[in-house]
């Protein structure tokens, strides 16, 4: 079975073609999209032989394919980048004119907005996202109030003490064209520190992660709710394992 994969170091999106569609004479190509946080062109050894990190596998991808050397962006930070990738729209068309969403921000993308996942679904693909979401989520609340329909400004944030982690999200990735989802809500330094699978918290938070700063003043995370299965240093390996497992599973279909 052909596997269509969009892979991001902080956002993994996977797409696989339905087995029924494989009976046609035309086979759609596999898609691999790698989105990496804080990765500059000089970090890959294929572009910079003096890079501090050698990247032989990515260098091989470049050697076997096409390299782009003239790229431009209207915003280089997390949320606007993800919005543009998933919707194909300029990020400044949203209410978010600067900065990024928080872990308890409401959804930035409206569920009636067409996404690349919607389009691929309509063309016979199974779709999934695995990794850092960072586009806002509509959390269920203990008091039953939804509070927000969608993101309208940077001050829109669900009250952390009222968020009900035992209930599925009111709106999440499954409303935007994805058949499967495994994610963290926002950046690795932003609470709540939980994994969500298919828009449900995998393990409810039982403690508070204290604010931590390392020797590097820019490496830290904010104090907030944390689940027992969430270890900051292990999040990336968890995403990689989940993505590889998903690909292998779909390859057997």
Asked if 78 is an active-site residue, the reply is: yes
Positive/negative CA dihedral, 199, 173, 139, 183:
positive
Spatial separation of the C-alpha atoms in residues 244 and 116, rounded to whole Å: 21
Mean pLDDT of the residues in the chain: 86
- pLDDT range class, residue 7, cuts 50, 70, 90: very low
Residue 153 is predicted with a pLDDT of 94
Query: Are 232 and 132 spatial neighbours (Cβ–Cβ below 8 Å)?
Result: no
pLDDT tens profile 118-129: 999 998 888 889
What's 35's DSSP letter? E
Q: Is 66 exposed, middle or buried (0-12, 13-18, 19+ CB in 10 A)?
A: exposed
195, two tokens: 């994994």
Residue 76 is predicted with a pLDDT of 84
Tell whether pTM > 0.85.
yes
Q: Which strands make up the sheet holding 125-132, listed edge to edge?
A: 34-35, 3-8, 11-17, 125-132, 180-184, 196-197, 200-201
pLDDT tens profile 48-90: 999 998 999 999 999 999 888 888 888 889 999 999 999 999 9
> Mean pLDDT across the stretch 234-253?
89
Residue 22 is predicted with a pLDDT of 52
Spatial separation of the C-alpha atoms in residues 38 and 25, rounded to whole Å: 41
The yes-or-no verdict on residue 5 having pLDDT over 70 is no
pLDDT tens profile 153-177: 999 999 989 999 999 999 999 999 9
The yes-or-no verdict on residue 20 having pLDDT over 70 is no
Asked if 134 is an active-site residue, the reply is: yes
Query: Are 240 and 131 spatial neighbours (Cβ–Cβ below 8 Å)?
Result: no
Percent of the chain with pLDDT over 70: 85
pLDDT tens profile 218-243: 567 899 999 999 999 899 999 999 99
The yes-or-no verdict on residue 109 having pLDDT over 70 is yes
Q: What is the largest CA-CA distance in the chain?
A: 57
**Alpha helix (H) ranges present in 24-72?**
56-64
**Alpha helix (H) ranges present in 96-196?**
116-122
Kindly name the residue from 26, 57, 72, 134 that is annotated as catalytic.
Answer: 134
Kindly name the residue from 26, 72, 78, 161 that is annotated as catalytic.
Answer: 78
């Amino acid at each position: 079975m052909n596997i269509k994969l969009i892979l991001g170091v902080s956002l993994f999106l996977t797409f696989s073609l339905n087995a029924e569609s494989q009976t046609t004479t035309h086979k759609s190509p596999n898609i691999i999209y790698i989105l990496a946080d804080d990765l500059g062109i000089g970090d890959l050894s294929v572009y910079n032989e003096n890079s501090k990190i050698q990247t032989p596998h990515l260098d091989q991808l470049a050697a076997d394919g096409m390299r782009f050397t003239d790229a431009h962006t209207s915003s280089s930070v997390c949320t606007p980048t993800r919005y543009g990738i998933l919707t194909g729209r300029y990020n400044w068309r949203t209410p978010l004119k600067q900065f990024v969403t928080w872990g308890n921000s409401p959804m930035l993308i409206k569920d009636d907005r067409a996404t690349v996942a919607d389009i691929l679904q309509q063309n016979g693909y199974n779709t999934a996202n695995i990794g850092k979401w960072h586009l806002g989520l509509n959390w269920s609340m203990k008091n039953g109030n939804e509070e927000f329909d969608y993101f309208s400004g940077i001050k829109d944030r669900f009250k952390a003490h009222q968020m009900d982690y035992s209930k599925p999200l009111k709106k999440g990735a499954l409303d935007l064209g994805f058949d499967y989802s495994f994610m963290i809500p926002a950046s690795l330094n932003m609470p709540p520190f939980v994994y969500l699978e298919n828009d449900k918290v995998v393990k409810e938070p039982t403690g508070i992660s204290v604010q931590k700063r390392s020797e590097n003043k820019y490496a830290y995370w904010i104090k907030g709710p944390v689940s027992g299965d969430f270890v900051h240093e292990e999040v990336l390996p968890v995403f990689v394992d989940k993505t590889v497992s998903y690909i292998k599973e779909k390859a057997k279909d």
